[in-house]
Chains A and B, each alone.
Chain A
Amino acid sequence: MKSVKNVTSLPQIDEKIRDAVLDVTARLKDQPGALLPVLHGIQSALGYVPEDAIPLLAREMNLSRADVHGVVSFYHFFRTHPAGKRVIYLCRAESCQSMGAMKLEQHIKQRLGVDFHETTADGAWTLEPVYCLGNCACSPAMMVDDELKGRVTPESFDAWLQSEAT
């Protein structure tokens, strides 16, 4: 008897996406509760979890597309569209608020010309909100590529951005 999975034809997808999905699932899918590690693996390989990846991913994981879509959309960290070259996670939780995070947020949005979840026109920066980076004794905080920054002010942000540009 023919295997059921061949009956369902999968939409054509980009080779890079297909390879990433097959590589990550082959490595990680057999552990218990594998979906989050698999999604992390795909996002780490491609920078995002493309919607195109979901049918293949669902088949490899033996889950429904709805299940996978539900998980991807539930978690703030997973993105379904590519981000800019670098992502700025700006904390807007209470501790940072007490040290002027809202003012800093306005400044950064204006400076980069983007709102949260948006990417600058040149594709260099994506701005994301985050609710606590655990740097609360050094508020306000932000994180860029795993690098945490504390006591950020509009002035120190500008100086840092300038230094990154050069």
Chain B
Amino acid sequence: MSVTVYVPCDASALSLGAEAVAKAIAAEAAVRNADVRIVRNGSRGLYWLEPMVEVETGQGRVAYGPVQPGNVAALFDADFLHGGDDVLALGPTEDIPWLKSQQRLTFARVGIVDPRSLDDYRAHGGYRGLAAALKMEPAAIVQAVTDSGLRGRGGAAFPAGIKWKTCFDATADQKYIVCNADEGDSGTFSDRMVMEGDPFVLIEGMTIAGLAVGATHGYIYLRIEYPHAQRALEAAIDAAKAGGYLGENICGSGKAFHLEVRMAAGAYICGEETSLLESLEGRRGQVRFKPPLPAIQGLFGKPTVINNVITLATVPIILDRGATFYRDFGTGRSRGTMPIQLAGNIKRGGLVERAFGLTLRELIEDYGGGTASGRPVRAVQVGGPLGAYIPVSQLDTPIDYEAFAAINGMVGHGGVVVFDDTVDMAAQARFAMEFCAIESCGKCTPCRIGSTRGVEVIDRMLAGSIAERERNEVLLRDLCQTMLAGSLCALGGMAPFPVLSALDHYPEDFAGTSQRKAS
């Protein structure tokens, strides 16, 4: 009987050599006449163990990692095809504490199923949410999403149910569902993992959204930096069409939903929903004024639900298990689970999906095991390039939307980037302004001009005398206020957060180079 071996085809696992490992296993199996079936799954998200190979045994799946092609012969010698012991053996995958302690709802199937197999998806609970939705009135679907407490996971944390209700209430001959897959924040990769590891769940979520608000066409706006996700999504869309889950007549219901992938072109700002819509319409990705809200006048002027990948990929489990099931996870007004991405200078980085309420310290110390460099943690940036730098003294902040807002931070899309004590926070502040200048869409002055002036002011702070530094700090703080209050969208409106947090928590780093040399 053939033994099933799982070797991830997730882009990160591939970046560490998973392709060569898969080939080596196939070659070694051929040499030894071993009957092996290799399945290319997504990643379980334990990236320090990638490429992580799993073997299906009588006692469930057992893991080995990190595996390099040179280890493969030894694994065969150790009879890994029957769970044999080896220096790389990690035991039953589900028992790895890092994974066992998680609460994977959105990521329930990622790393487990074959992302190209519709049958595998269905065998693991897929399309049960759609089946439930097809038996419900559209208004009841919207209500379920509202009751679940699901908030936008892209960063803005706006209640998904309210967005859907606004679009549901709008009357139009055409409505759209748009998935924001322009995951541009540094430190984030959960969208990518879902799209590569369980693309059908996103398709199912978008189909349910279409049924709920009466939209018959959907677009996935995917960043060009994600070619692996593009291939996975396109294959899954074809399979869903062939299986009757997309098209004119979804599952024989008589309802239509069409879906296509559109590739972005490398502009960070297109992760902002209105500039994303502009881009989808074939224009420069410049931010639109709001109102009108996209839910009322969105893509091509029609009512549009635009949500992030994780938000939409969470919808199926809400419809399948019920709003209460999902809402029972979490704390305060942050309901459900958050897929947190642990990144940067971290020993054990990866994907941690847990109910809201875990503290940053638990995340970094218990899951992350401290820094990769072994040096002390000095700063943690949460929520991407527009998120505040959080000092060690605030690491006990629980990860929930309100607790982060209270310390002038944001959970955002859940990216956590750890820095050790070699970080120069003035350089990080300067980079925040530089990045804003590079990526500004140019529509509003505070962002377009302010970011460039910000870089210049920081340069003057660092180059000058103490008096010069103090004068320029006043200017910089004033500039930050202008950007915060006067920018049209979150790019200019939040780029000051990393700058101000660096100034507030790490003033010593802004002492000019001349002074630092003297001290």
Contact = CB atoms under 8 A, between A and B. Distances in A.
A34 B283 CA distance: 9
Contact of A131 (B186, B279, B280, B346): B186
A-side interface size class: 35 or more
Question: Which residue, of A35, A36, A131, A136, has the highest number of chain B Cβ atoms within 10 A?
Answer: A136
B155 to A, nearest CB: 14
A36 B344 contact: no
A96 B418 CA distance: 10
B183 interface: yes
Interface in B182-237: 183-189, 191-192, 224-228
A75 B441 CA distance: 10
Interface residues of B, number: 62
A32 B176 CA distance: 12
Given A76-B265, A130-B225, A150-B15, A94 B282 contact: no
A11 interface: no
A137 B417 CA distance: 9
Interface of A: 32-37, 39-40, 67, 70-71, 74-78, 89, 93-99, 130-139, 141, 143, 146-151
A77 B226 CA distance: 13
Contact of A138 (B15, B184, B264, B345): B15
B474 interface: no
Given A33-B282, A67-B283, 16 more contacts: A33-B262, A34-B282, A35-B283, A36-B262, A36-B264, A40-B263, A74-B441, A77-B266, A95-B415, A99-B372, A132-B183, A134-B189, A138-B15, A139-B343, A148-B228, A150-B16
B282 A141 contact: no
Main secondary structure of the interface of B (DSSP, over half): mixed
Given A74-B267, A138-B47, A146-B227, A99 B345 contact: yes
Contacts of A76: 265-267
B187 A94 contact: yes
Interface string B9-50: 001101110000000000000000000000000000001101
A39 B265 contact: yes
A134 B345 contact: no
Contacts of B300: 32-33
B341 A136 contact: yes
Contacts of A97: 428, 431
A134 B225 contact: yes
A107 B223 CA distance: 28
9 contacts: A32-B281, A74-B285, A75-B264, A76-B267, A96-B186, A131-B435, A134-B11, A138-B349, A148-B228
